[in-house]
Amino acid sequence: MPAKFFENWVLKLISLAFALVLWFFVMGEGRMEVAHILPLEYENLPEGLMIANEVPSSVSVRISGPRTLQMNISPGDISLSVDLLGLQAGVSSFKRLDESLNLPSGLKVTRISPSYVDVKLEHIREKDVPVRVALAGEPSPGFMVTEVRVAPNRVQVSGAESELKGVSEVFTEGVDLTGVQESFSQTVAISYVGNYTDLKENKTVDVQVALRPDPDYVSSPAEGEESK
């Protein structure tokens, strides 16, 4: 028996030493907590619906685990998403976002903010509304605006159904008439900014402003002196 015990004693000693080194490495490896900012993606949005509320585009996550695992994590190794598949119009609450986080084995989430998200889905609608020209300033004395034309005179606004109900018209950016003495035309941008609606196609319109001398205008003595 003693003879068998001492057989291959060198290999047994090496194995024991290796086991001790491995044990000390495992027991001595410290755990660490690392903070990450992860993009929050919204997947599988149902056709004909849109997100119509403010939702976070990223989350703050603190992850705890062995130092060696933490050091080997790259930003592309972990991701976070909200699955909207099969949802109907209305508000849906997604709680425990950490449960959808694809973490490597051995790591765990100790803190996540926000920990939940509410998503409001609305039907996408379209509405045809008139375009109003915003005039600024006054023509030169003795001239008057006789007509303002805009083409196209109606545009389509598209977006969330609830917001679209409150849109009855859109305005152009200001067309400056200061000191103008003759008819003119110009291309003008439509000044429209919605929260969850937008112009579908036309972003600009052509504006024609017609002027003529004012037959009822009588110049003042001061203006007569200036003309001289």
- 35-49 mean pLDDT: 93
- Rounded Cα distance, 94 and 185, in Å: 53
Provide the token pair at 80.
């976070």
- Rounded Cα distance, 78 and 98, in Å: 11
pLDDT recorded at residue 187: 97
- 11-39 mean pLDDT: 68
Contact between 180 and 213 (Cβ < 8 Å): no
pLDDT digits 0-9 by tens, 180-226: 999 999 999 999 999 999 999 889 999 999 999 988 888 766 555 55
| Fold agreement between 29-115 and 124-217 | yes
How distant, in Å, are the alpha carbons of 130, 185, 187, 194, 202 from that of 151? Answer: 10, 11, 10, 22, 10
pLDDT recorded at residue 28: 46
pLDDT digits 0-9 by tens, 64-74: 888 877 777 77
Question: What pTM was estimated for this model as a whole?
Answer: 0.73
pLDDT digits 0-9 by tens, 72-81: 777 677 888 9
**Domain locations in the chain?**
29-115, 124-217
Dihedral angle at the C-alpha atoms of 107, 112, 116, 120, nearest 10 degrees?
-110
124-217 topology per CATH: RNA Polymerase Alpha Subunit; Chain A, domain 2 (2.170.120)
pLDDT more than 90, % of the chain: 61
* CATH (residue range 29-115): 2.170.120.30
pLDDT digits 0-9 by tens, 147-179: 999 999 999 999 999 999 999 999 999 999 999
